[in-house]
Amino acid sequence: MVPGCWFLAFAWVWWLPLVLVATQEQQSLGCSAMCGDVPVSDPFWLTDWETGRSCGSPGAPDFELTCVNSSYPVLRSFVPFIPGFSISNISYKERSLHAVDLGKLELLRGARTPCLPIWNTSVKLGHPFRIDSINLNLIFYNCTEEAAAAAAARRDRGLVHATTMRCVNASNAFVRAGVRYDATGNYSGYALEGCNAIVLPMRRSSSGETFTNTTDYEQLIKDGFLLTWDPPQPLPTPLPA
């Protein structure tokens, strides 16, 4: 190799670490361990929604939180292209999150987003996360016209017309609240013939409140629920050279 080429190679090798350091500094520049009022620390890590830059060293992919407008962190959905969960509190001691299913919020009136497929909340969670057994459940039903008429005729006090739901015919939509959590996910006892159902966790009320009208289920969705997580698995030890 001619001397000039040796010089270029040496300069490139010397310059590369500086580029990497500068990139890391740029990623961390102006970032904070806070997103809104929520402190974010290990095992979670932050990515800025607008810039895509990560704050600090990226950790396990399942624990990535996206900071939206510097206001609140979002945990991504395990189902691609489906809205995830906004987080309003993280208890690192209890390993729990107070979460709101953003996909269910978009079913409420006033939302302007396109209608997307509706999934059970549990399906959207990545492997380390579980719905806390302290939660109860909301069950939403989207029924055929005949099934809706039959459900209304039964005068089941546990069913309420979901008159403010988007993306479905509200006349044929119902919601049931306060269903006990089942670790196996078996809610067949609450199935209604001719109706598709989705299950959403809700926080258990300590004040003995009852579910009585169509405004209640909107607030229950907005109040969110509790998630827990398992610690991330340690990275495998590198093989000796």
What is the predicted pLDDT for the residue at 153? 87
In angstroms, the CA 37 to CA 61 distance is 23
What is the predicted pLDDT for the residue at 96? 97
pTM, two decimal places: 0.77
Q: Is 16 left (phi over 0), alpha (psi -120 to 50) or beta?
A: alpha
In angstroms, the CA 149 to CA 174 distance is 11
What is the predicted pLDDT for the residue at 227? 97
Full pLDDT tens readout for the chain, 241 residues: 444 433 333 333 334 343 333 344 444 444 558 899 999 998 999 988 777 777 767 788 899 999 998 899 999 999 998 999 999 999 999 999 999 999 988 887 666 666 767 889 999 998 899 999 999 999 999 999 999 999 888 877 788 888 878 888 888 999 998 888 888 888 888 999 999 999 999 987 655 555 555 457 888 899 999 999 998 877 666 677 6
What is the predicted pLDDT for the residue at 117? 76
What is the predicted pLDDT for the residue at 110? 62
pLDDT in tens, 220-235: 899 999 999 998 877 6
- Closest to 200 in 3D by CA, of 130, 119, 107, 94: 119
Q: What is the CA radius of gyration of the chain?
A: 24
Show me where the domains of the chain are located. 15-75, 87-231
What is the predicted pLDDT for the residue at 232? 83
Token duo for residue 25: 């500094």
What is the predicted pLDDT for the residue at 84? 95
The helix (H) or strand (E) run that includes residue 228 is: strand 225-229
